[in-house]
Amino acid sequence: MDKIILVRYEEIFLKGLNKHVFENRLIKNIKQKLDDLGSVRITKSQSRIYIESDDADFDFDEAIIRLTKIFGIASISPVVRIKSDYDEIRKTSLDIVGDLIERKSYKTFKVESKRGDKSFPMSSPRICADLGGYILSKFPRLKVDVHNPDFILYVEVRENTYLYSEIIPSVKGLPTGTGGLATLLLSGGIDSPVAGWMIAKRGVEIEAVYFHSYPYTSDRAKDKVIKLSEILSEYCMGIKLHIVPFTEIQTSINEKCPHEYITIIMRRFMMRIAERIARKSGSLALVTGEAIGQVASQTMESMLVTNNAVTLPVYRPLIGMDKNEVIEIAKRIGTFDTSILPYEDCCTVFVAKHPVIKPSLQKTLEYEKPLDSEKLINDALSRTEVIKL
C-alpha cells in the first residue's frame, strides 16, 4: 500500500497536439513547488499526474496545500494505491472507511467504481454493489445514500487500484509559463492583485510594477506591496517586482498641470513607465485592475486617454466586474487582508477635489506639454529597484 497524491487537469485536454507541452510544463512547475519538501517522484499516466515520495516523513498535507495554488491543476486527491486484487481492495476499503467515520463522524456513503483494466474479473457495478455490502456488514451504523452521501469511496481499477474519498479543488487555469509574460501595474489596493492573478491563471508569467511616492506615502505602503507580490508569487511561480520612485513625477505634474487632470496624467506616466519595463523584459501586455466606472480615472473616456500613452495591449480582466465580485476573489486567493491594511498608496495623496470624469485626449496632450516627460521617465527608471519574489 502506497500513499500518493493524484493530480487531475482538465483544460489541458483541449490542447490537442500541444498537450505534452502543457503537461510537461505542469510537471516541471509541480517539481519546483515541492522541491524543498523532499524527494518526489512524479509520473504521468492516462492524463493524470501521480506524486509519490520515498521519504517516510514526507509532508503530504503541505504538498496538497501547495498543489492547490498551481495553475493547470483542476483537483487533487490523497490516494492509496494497492495491487488490483479484490481481497486487498476489500481490506483497504475498511481501513479508509473506518478512519473517515472516526475522524469526521460520517453516517452515509456510496461506492463509485471505474474499471480501466478490463481484465479485472468484476464489472464496475458489481464492485460497487459487493464492496458497499461488505462495508455495511462491517459498519452496521453506516447507511448507503446514493443521492447525497456524506462521503463517496472511489475505487479505480487500472494496472493498480486507487482508493480515495476526498477530491480537493485546485485553481484550474493553465500551467504557468505556457502563456508568455505580462506586466502588472500593482498598487496596494484590492483590485490589481486580483487582476494579476486572473491573467496569471491563463498560464501567463507576471512581473509587477509599483509606483512609490516616498515620502508622500510611507515605506509601510511599499512593504504592503511586497507582501502582496509574495502572495501572488505563490501562484505565479515567482514574481519580479519593479519599484519605481514616482515622487518627482507626481510633484512635477502637481506643479505644472491643471488640477482636475493630475490623476489622468499621472496614470499615463505609470502606463508609459510600465511599458518601458515591459519592452525590456519581453513582456507582451500590460495588466491593470481597472473596472468601468469604479473611480474617476476608470471611466471609458479616461481609459481611452491612458491607453493612448502606450502601444502594448492593456489587459483589464476586472473590466466588467462589481467591487464585491473582486473582493470575493481577493478573499479566496488570500490578498484581501493585506490589501485593506490602511497605508496610503500613491493614488490617494495627490488627488484633485474634482477630478475630470470625462477627460479629453486633446486637452490631456496639451496639458502634458510643459512636462519634460522623457527626462522624468528615464530618471525614474534609472532609480528603479527590482526585487525577486
Partner 1 sequence: MIYFDNSATTKPYKEVVELIARLMSEEFGNSSSLHALGLRAERILEDTRDKLASTIKAKPEELVFTSGGTESVNMAIRGTAEVLKRSGNHILSSPVEHAASLESLKELERIGYHVEYLEVDEYGRILIDDLKAKLRKDTILVNIMAVNNELGTVEPVYEAARIIKSNNKATVFHVDAVQAYGKMPINTRDLNADLISFSSHKIHGPKGVGMLYMRKGTRIHPLIMGGGHERKLRSGTVNVPCIAGFGLAALIKTERMKEDQEKSGRIRNILIKELTSSLSDKIRINSPKDGVENILNISFKGIKSETLLHFLEMRDIYVSTGSACSSKKNAISHVLKAVKLPQQWAEGSIRFSFGSFNTENEAVIVADAIKEIINIM
In the complex, which residues of this chain contact partner 1 (CB under 8 A)?
Answer: 214-218, 342, 344, 348-349, 351
Contacts of 263 (CB under 8 A, 6+ apart): 296, 297, 347, 350, 351, 352, 355
At its nearest, how many Å lie between partner 1 and the CB of residue 300? Answer: 23
Distance CA 359, CA 349 (A): 20
Q: Cβ closer to partner 1: 234 or 248?
A: 248
Distances (CA, A) of 282 to 113, 177, 216, 229, 267: 49, 13, 32, 20, 22
Q: What is the closest distance, in whole angstroms, from the C-beta atom of residue 219 to partner 1 in the complex?
A: 8
- Least distance between partner 1 and beta carbon 323 (Å): 15
Using the minimum distance from each CB to partner 1, give the nearer residue, 223 or 234.
Answer: 223
The DSSP-derived string for 307-325 is HTT--S-EE-TTTT--HHH
Q: What share of the chain is helix, strand, coil (3-state, %, to 5)?
A: 45, 20, 35
* Number of neighbouring beta carbons within 10 Å of residue 46: 7
CA-nearest of 379, 199, 197 to 276 is: 379
Nearest residue (CB) to partner 1, 349 versus 386: 349
264 vs 346, beta carbon nearer partner 1: 346
Nearest approach, Cβ of residue 251 and partner 1 (Å): 8
State in angstroms the smallest separation of the CB of 215 from partner 1.
Answer: 3
Cβ proximity to partner 1, 250 vs 302, nearer residue: 250
Q: Indicate the residue among 197 and 350 with the shorter CB distance to partner 1.
A: 350
Q: What secondary structure does DSSP assign to 351-382, as a single string? A: --SS--SS--HHHHHHHHTTS-HHHHHHHHHH
Detail the DSSP E strand segments found in the chain.
Answer: 2-8, 41-45, 48-52, 75-83, 108-115, 143-144, 151-157, 160-164, 168-169, 181-185, 205-212, 240-245, 286-287, 314-315, 385-388
Shortest separation between residue 243's beta carbon and partner 1, angstroms = 16
Q: Between 1 and 341, whose beta carbon lies closer to partner 1?
A: 341
- Give the shortest CB-69-to-partner 1 separation in angstroms: 31
Instruction: Provide the minimum distance between the beta carbon of 52 and partner 1 in the complex, in angstroms, as a whole number.
Output: 48
Q: Which CB, 308 or 348, lies closer to partner 1?
A: 348
Please identify, using beta-carbon distances, which residue of 101 and 352 lies nearer to partner 1.
352
CB 55: neighbour CB atoms within 10 A?
A: 11
Q: What are phi and psi of 341, to 5 degrees?
A: -60, 140
In degrees and rounded to multiples of 5, residue 383 shows phi and psi of: -105, 10
Distance from the Cα of residue 41 to its chain's centroid: 24
